[in-house]
Amino acid sequence: MEIGFIGLGLMGSGMAANILKAGYPLTVHDLRKEAAAPLIEKGAGWAETPAALASSSDLVLTSLPKPADVEGVMEGPNSLTAGFRKGAVWLDLSTNAVDVVRRIHDRLGERGVAFLDAPVSGGPSGAASGKLAIWVGGDAAAFNKCRPVLEAMADRARRVGAIGAGTIAKLVHNTMATTMNHAVAEMMTVGVKAGMEPLELYEAIRSGAMGRMRSFDNVHRRWLAGNLDPPTFELQLLHKDVTLGVELARSVNAPAPLATLARDDLTEALNRGWGKRDAQSALLLKQERAGLSPIAEPLDAIEEVMKRS
């Protein structure tokens, strides 16, 4: 199976490297050819355009920042659509919008190309190590055709339903996680302002009923440690994901007030110019509004709390 991969950022580069490591013939493309250099050195081919990549590929994978970027590689004289072979599969690993993936699916289906939405969860470290979840929506036969490639990139790749289902799962996951982080930071800020030391409070809540489920652990390496640069996941990308999640809720007439409030904090942080900082930088707004300095506990002390509780 000839494979093409477009989008070699923090996520795409790791996933593409694992495909190459598994022995698949791989052709790559990115807006910046220098991003492809490490893969080319290891044996990947280079395509000058998406069309050239699609014309030589049975399976095309894309890992791109925004829905507009995914649609951008689909249209035009040098686009994927201009190069796709009949019977090819396009697996989009981006976090997209449900209406966009359904629209692409319908348009490409008329041309004999299967489109699957397959957003991932696990961050850059997971992309590099293969410790990823990939949630796939779309045709079962197309999924089974590319399952071995998915398993070369991820330890948890599964089809979760019809087209759009993977995107719904990802938007629910990211929006829910963000809302929880904002609730944790908000009430931790209350507790600190009320007189507790941050680490003592964090250890206490981790021993409670919800804390034992480890619902609070996502904030410890970044917000609690004051460790927000360089980012593992940029705030501007999380803002996009949560905005799509809130729009999804609105589109199905499901009220989501807490998620909307979390999105509004992300928007404020984005307007502060924090878009390229870590996504948890938005949690600093909780301390600022309470008149507190940002919390920044030593990471080794936090790790001791994690071991004890």
Please indicate, yes or no, whether the overall pTM of this predicted structure exceeds 0.85.
yes
Whether residues 116 and 243 share a domain: the answer is no
Whether 170 is catalytic is yes
Rounded Cα distance between 221 and 198, Å, is: 14
Looking at residue 213, what is its pLDDT? 85
Whether residues 99 and 237 share a domain: the answer is no
Q: Which domain holds residue 245?
A: 168-308
Looking at residue 215, what is its pLDDT? 83
User: Taking all residues of the chain, what is their mean pLDDT, rounded to a whole number?
Assistant: 96
**Residue 73, burial from CB neighbour count under 10 angstroms (0-12, 13-18, 19+):** buried
Catalytic-labelled residue, pool 145, 170, 240, 286? 170
As for how many domains the chain has, the answer is 2
Tell me: pLDDT of 214 over 90.
Answer: no
CB neighbours of 18 closer than 8 A, spacing ≥ 6? Answer: 127, 128, 130, 152, 153
**Which CATH number belongs to the domain containing residue 299 in this structure?**
1.10.1040.10
Whether residues 8 and 156 share a domain: the answer is yes
Looking at residue 309, what is its pLDDT? 79
Which residue among 163, 191, 215 closes a domain? 163
CB 232 within 8 A of CB 123: yes
**Which CATH number belongs to the domain containing residue 81 in this structure?**
3.40.50.720
The string of pLDDT tens digits covering residues 17-29 is 999 999 999 999 9
Whether residues 49 and 109 share a domain: the answer is yes
Stronger pLDDT, 89 or 218, i.e. the higher one: 89
Rounded Cα distance between 292 and 95, Å, is: 35
